[in-house]
Amino acid sequence: MDKGWGLTLDTSSSQSLPLFPSKQPPNDTMFPLLGFPVNLSRAANKEDDHNRKVVGEVDFFSDRNKPNVKPNIIKKENIDEKPLHVNTGLQLLTANTGSDQSTVDDGVSSDAEDKRVKSTELAQLQVELQRMNAENKKLKEMLSHVTGNYTALQMHLMTLMQQNQRTETTENEVVQGKVEDKNHGVGGGKVPRQFLDIGPSGTAEVDDQVSDSSSDERTRSSTPQNNNVEGGTRDGVKNSNGKHELGREESPDSESQGWAPNKLQKTNPSTAMDQSTTEATMRKARVSVRARSEAPMISDGCQWRKYGQKMAKGNPCPRAYYRCTMAVGCPVRKQVQRCAEDRTILVTTYEGTHNHPLPPAAMAMASTTSAAASMLLSGSMSSAEGIMNPNLLARAILPCSSSMATLSASAPFPTVTLDLTHNQNPLQFQRPSAPFQLPFLQGQPQNFGSGATPIAQALYNQSKFSGLQLSQEVGSSQLAPQAPRPPLQPTQQPPSLADTVSAATAAITADPNFTAVLAAAISSIIGGAHANNNTNTNTNNNTSRTS
């Protein structure tokens, strides 16, 4: 269904990079990371074909040079008589070889020399091919290694998060009021928990989260609701008006879980008010990405469904509202709107955290936004602080350029803006410093949403880094910088693998096309397991009718 989004992941990848056809057989020896494909199987086939030609078949090139047909056959016979194994290789090289032979076949001796020369070239090429093959193998091994490490880390993270959550739940039951300060003490209480706690583990955890956090939401609902989780999303509110009685109740579980944080439908009288405020803050935390794109929407790898469009005040361009449809009940929404000043700039604002696994391309963006929001809302930097010191947050997100990440203090909700419209080469992003060597602050939830990626980890750790530094500066766990801080200076350390991955992910995030391309390439290596996901991404990509 290519209706609107002209530049979605798959489309852009296939169009912009024909070198990586989506249906490329994974067995073909590819060097996607090197930027060029090497199809060994085809080479082998060529060789086979050419062997067949040499043995018996008449060279089809002879059709082009009919006068040479006969000499060509003679030449082949001569070749067969020679013990040289070179001939086969010689002929497989290129099509031109055959024609060359057919044109040069007058002199047998010169032909033999020529063949020797070419055999040498062939040998060199074969060596080169083997070398590249070995390199490709190494790259594959590296990739699998990194993937394995990442998976292991993610699993470990999930386990830790689940343990923390159970602990928190227990504590909440005992001392509900103090837990918040304890867990997020640095932030001074206004620390969004739900947002951070929604972990990559996905649905199960989110379910728990929602069931817990939703209670907070319920208190905000002005209309008394059914306390049961199933019933009531917004429908409960609307039921009071006698409208939308069936509304979106079609999937009570998923829907309520997914949208509950955004809807304030569920009411739990026993919920504390401060928690409600916290939840609201978390829920409303947003990450805005500014990127230049002619397409109606940037390809972030996720599958979105448009559910509304409005004309926003002060902007002639309509604002489109999308929700993630990669999983039922995914709470993530985004707004897409062109910048009024520069309509080539597409502003995409994300809200929420995915509750489902993401394809690689989506992980880059989702993790970045999630990490940015987590940083904003994490205890290491309270939202108020971040608003008061946007530069601090900016540097924490993208230390290489504070201008690329800003925080909107005027926005109704804490909003991190990642400005990717600058023309600097994403690959030249300064690598974060030792992101994995910094200790976590106490009580900091360390989840980055469903699509946790190295960059998420890196970003989040950067936030920790900044928070840690600040906390050291202020000499206590309370972060209350009163004046703009000097830029955080990365420590001088050789970039680790994680750094490299983070930088690469940043680059991916910065360039939607690159995201698609790399995702396709990695998918081709891994085995195309994610290819379907990426393909799904495209099914929706059509906003041609949007505006």
Partner DNA sequence: CGGCTTTGACCGGCGC
Partner DNA sequence: GCGCCGGTCAAAGCCG
Catalog residues that contact DNA under the rule CB under 7 A: 1-5, 220, 222-223, 233-235, 237-238, 240-241, 243-244, 246-248, 259, 262-264, 303-314, 319-321, 325, 333, 335, 539-540, 542-547
Find the shortest distance in angstroms from Cβ 414 to DNA. 13
Q: Which is nearer to DNA, 233 or 466 (CB)?
A: 233
What's the closest the beta carbon of residue 541 comes to DNA, in angstroms? Answer: 8
Provide, rounded to whole angstroms, the least separation between the CB of residue 230 and DNA: 15
Cα of first residue to Cα of last residue in the chain, in angstroms, is 17
Place of tokens 């978390």: 282
> For residues 91 and 417, what is the distance between their CA atoms, to the nearest angstrom?
59
CB of 339 to DNA, least distance (A): 14
C-beta atoms surrounding 108 within 10 Å: 12
Residue placing its CB nearer to DNA in the complex, 121 or 245? 245
Nearest approach, Cβ of 509 to DNA (angstroms)?
Answer: 22
**402: DSSP letter:** G
In this structure, is the dihedral angle defined by the CA atoms of residues 395, 399, 401 and 404, taken in order, positive or negative? negative
Least distance CB 321 / DNA (angstroms): 5
Of 145 and 310, which has the nearer Cβ to DNA? 310
Residue among 222 and 482 whose Cβ is closer to DNA: 222
From residue 132, how far is each of 26, 35, 128, 137, 508 by CA, in Å?
17, 12, 6, 8, 25
Nearer CB in complex with DNA: 8/433: 8
C-alpha radius of gyration, the chain, whole number: 29
- φ, ψ at 348 (rounded to 5°): -115, 120
Q: How far is the CB of 449 from DNA (least distance, A)?
A: 18
Min CB(262)–DNA separation in Å: 5
Min. distance of Cβ 479 from DNA in angstroms? Answer: 26
Enumerate residues 6+ apart whose C-beta is below 8 A from 98.
53, 59, 61, 91
> In the complex, what is the shortest distance from the CB of residue 145 to DNA, in angstroms, rounded to a whole number?
36
* E-only strand ranges, 13-66: 30-31, 36-37
CB 289 within 8 A of CB 350: yes
The number of angstroms, rounded, from the C-alpha of 149 to the middle of its chain's C-alpha atoms is 17
Nearer residue to DNA within complex by CB, 326 or 398: 326
The DSSP code sequence of 109-152 is HHHHHHHHHHHHHHHHHHHHHHHHHHHHHHHHHHHHHHHHHHHH
Collapsing DSSP to helix, strand or coil, 286 comes out as strand
DSSP state of 30: E
Give kind and range of the element (H or E) at residue 95: helix 95-104
Taking the C-alpha atoms of residue 223 and residue 25, their distance in angstroms, rounded to an integer, is: 57
Beta bridge partners of 242: none
Distance CA 447, CA 161 (A): 7
Eight-state DSSP code of residue 432? P
**Both tokens of residue 242?**
């006698």
C-alpha dist (Å) from residue 437 to 375, 400, 463, 475: 17, 19, 13, 21
CB-nearer residue toward DNA: 93 or 264: 264
Identify which of residues 96 and 222 has a Cβ nearer to DNA in the complex: 222
Residues near 64 by beta carbon (within 8 Å), at least 6 away in sequence: 99
- The stretches of 56-94 forming alpha helices (DSSP H) are 69-81, 86-92
Asked whether 18 and 308 are in contact (CB, 8 A), the reply is no
CB of 385 to DNA, least distance (A): 21
Minimal distance, residue 405 CB to DNA, in Å = 20
Determine the residue type at 117. Answer: V
CB of 307 to DNA, least distance (A): 5
Given the structure tokens 């995915």, which residue do they identify? 354
